[in-house]
């Protein structure tokens, strides 16, 4: 019998939020290619194509339309879904970003971003983690950001949420590692998605960003997927509380 790859996710079920596009879509397909079945969540009706592609790769796929900004709805949905599905891997990918100078930053843009990027992520971690701790196994991968390390420009709520998500990752790892649950995060660099369209469409800002990236290009969402597969796999069984930068060398410059 051939040895099992330490990166194999055969027999695992992964819940991925924000899975319909961008990084979430790429992570979902990466997990499926490693053998995982999928429970895909999105607040938009955009899960059909990724579900079809994942099924073609052999995954069993369930989709769920869920607005993570709606606190009562998401809490009830999390309990229902986690009761109905034995989730082995949780990927908190869904996120919002709003841009404005801090002196003019609207209250609603602050609270909306914190609600999805931090509060919803914590509640999903808590609900999944409770079950994983009881079972004695599980993997949680939070999608952080370069702005978990830096301040950025014109995005105070996003920066605050991503700093907090990195801290939450470490805090949960400290509590749950003794119970066989790995909590880690990925910090993508500048990725060509809808979230970064405003930056890529600004010739000056885009040139400034590219000048600092040793890899000399924006990342594609697929560049991030392998890190999620690693952190979700047995290869990362002794990795706890780590924030893995996938940034083309940005932080090294």
> Which has the closest alpha carbon to 158: 145, 139, 171, 169?
145
Catalytic-labelled residue, pool 111, 158, 190, 238: 158
What is the spatial distance between Cα 39 and Cα 82, in angstroms, rounded to a whole number? 10
Q: Residues of 185-200 as b/e, b for ≥16 C-beta within 10 angstroms?
A: bbbbbbbbbebbeebe
The 8-class DSSP code of residue 155 comes to: -
From the number of C-beta atoms within 10 Å of its C-beta (0-12, 13-18, 19+), residue 162 rates as buried
The question of whether 158 is a catalytic residue gets the answer: yes
Query: Which of 72, 44, 22 lies closest to 193, judged by CA?
Result: 22
Active site residues: 158
């Amino acid at each position: 019998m051939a040895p099992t790859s330490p990166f194999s996710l055969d027999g695992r079920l992964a819940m991925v939020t924000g899975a319909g596009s961008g990084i979430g879509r790429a992570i979902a397909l990466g997990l499926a290619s490693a053998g995982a079945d999928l429970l895909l969540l999105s607040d938009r009706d955009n899960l059909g194509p990724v579900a079809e592609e994942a099924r073609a790769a052999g995954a069993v796929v369930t989709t769920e339309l869920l607005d993570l900004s709606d606190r009562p709805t998401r809490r009830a949905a999390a309990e229902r879904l986690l009761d109905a599905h034995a989730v082995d891997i949780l990927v908190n990918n869904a996120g919002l970003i709003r841009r404005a100078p801090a002196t003019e930053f609207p209250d609603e843009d602050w609270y909306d971003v914190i609600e999805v990027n931090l509060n919803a992520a914590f509640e999903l971690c808590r609900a999944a983690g409770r079950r994983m701790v009881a079972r004695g196994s599980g993997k949680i991968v939070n999608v952080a950001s370069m702005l978990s390390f830096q301040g950025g420009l014109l995005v105070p709520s996003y920066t605050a949420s991503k700093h907090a998500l990195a801290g939450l990752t470490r805090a949960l790892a400290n509590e749950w590692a003794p119970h066989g649950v790995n909590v880690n995060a990925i910090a993508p660099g500048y990725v060509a998605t809808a979230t970064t369209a405003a930056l890529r469409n600004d010739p000056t800002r885009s040139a400034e960003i590219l000048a600092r990236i040793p890899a000399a290009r924006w990342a594609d969402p697929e560049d991030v997927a392998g890190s999620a597969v690693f952190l979700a796999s047995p290869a990362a069984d002794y990795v706890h509380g780590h924030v893995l930068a996938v940034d083309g060398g940005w932080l090294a410059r």
